[in-house]
Amino acid sequence: MRIDIITVEPDLLRSPFENSMMKRAIEKNIAEVHLHNLREYGFGNYRQIDDYQFGGGAGMVLMIEPIAKCIEKLQSERDYDEIIYMTPDAKTLNQTTANTLSLKENIIILTGHYKGVDQRVRDKFITKEISIGDYVLTGGELAAAVLCDAVIRLIPGVLGDETSALTDSFQDNLLSPPVYTRPSEYDGMKVPEVLLSGNFPKIEEWRSEQAYERTKEIRPDLLDE
């Protein structure tokens, strides 16, 4: 999978791809991530990329021309399956969306800043808009990193243990059950007996029950879906 990220803060985005799972995925050539500094497509000596909004109001808006130039250059080099805009005014990212995106070959992610992008960018280029939650970040960079992490870890071969992504919370619309490791007793707190029993059907049954109970308590909305 190739991901091209268009951003005004490329430095903010480097570290997530230089560490941990995403670094490994890139090293194994399973994922390719390219950062594009929008400013390089800006106007004039100052490389202008934003301007005041028509109709007045606080906050600058990213202009269409620099973004169009960058997207059209990328599109002249290959076909893209999705051009995604990270924005708080969109549907919230969930595991289903991450699963779907993990099957794509080439995607562009556009990150907003300031008051966002000129609406015509969204109308002309964007095929999918994603929010990572009902709160506003300073820019879409961290949101893009979250999206990439959620997607890349699902590509076969990225995680050492293939089953570990499949048993994540949300893969079956349930939260994960509790997990324990050594010691089997700490300060009087004992690991549930069943986990030490070696009876794997019973352990699976216990985990399913726990996942259901946790979901019912913390995220009952997931059970309605």
- The pattern of x and - marking residues 163 through 182 that bind ligand ADE according to CB under 6 A reads --------------------
> Residues annotated in the binding site for S-adenosyl-L-methionine, as ranges?
112, 132-137
CA distance 177 to 197: 17
| Residue 47: closest CA among 73, 65, 74 | 65
Task: Kindly give the interhelix angle for 141-152 and 10-17, rounded to the nearest 10 degrees.
Answer: 20
107 counts as binding ligand ADE under rule CB under 6 A = no
Binding-site residue total for ligand ADE (CB under 6 A)?
Answer: 12
CA distance 109 to 127: 10
Helix, strand, coil share (%) of the chain residues, nearest 5: 40, 20, 40
Instruction: Give the interface segment with ligand ADE, choosing from 29-37, 48-56, 125-133, 183-191 (CB under 6 A).
Output: 125-133
State which residue, 66 or 140, has the beta carbon closest to ligand ADE. Answer: 140
Instruction: Give the interface segment with ligand ADE, choosing from 6-14, 65-73, 83-91, 195-203 (CB under 6 A).
Output: 83-91
137 counts as binding ligand ADE under rule CB under 6 A = yes
87 counts as binding ligand ADE under rule CB under 6 A = yes
The least CB distance from residue 130 to ligand ADE, in Å, is: 6
The least CB distance from residue 76 to ligand ADE, in Å, is: 27
The least CB distance from residue 129 to ligand ADE, in Å, is: 9
15-18's contacts with Cβ under 8 Å and 24+ in sequence apart are 16/145, 16/148, 16/149, 17/145, 17/148
| Residue 212: closest CA among 161, 174, 158, 169 | 174
State which residue, 16 or 88, has the beta carbon closest to ligand ADE. Answer: 88
CA distance 128 to 198: 46
Instruction: Give the interface segment with ligand ADE, choosing from 45-53, 84-92, 193-201, 204-212 (CB under 6 A).
Output: 84-92
Instruction: Give the interface segment with ligand ADE, choosing from 80-88, 100-108, 151-159, 167-175 (CB under 6 A).
Output: 80-88
CA distance 97 to 151: 9
> For residues 74 and 117, is the Cβ–Cβ distance under 8 A?
no
Residues at the contact surface with ligand ADE, assessed by CB under 6 A:
86-88, 112, 131-133, 135-137, 140, 143
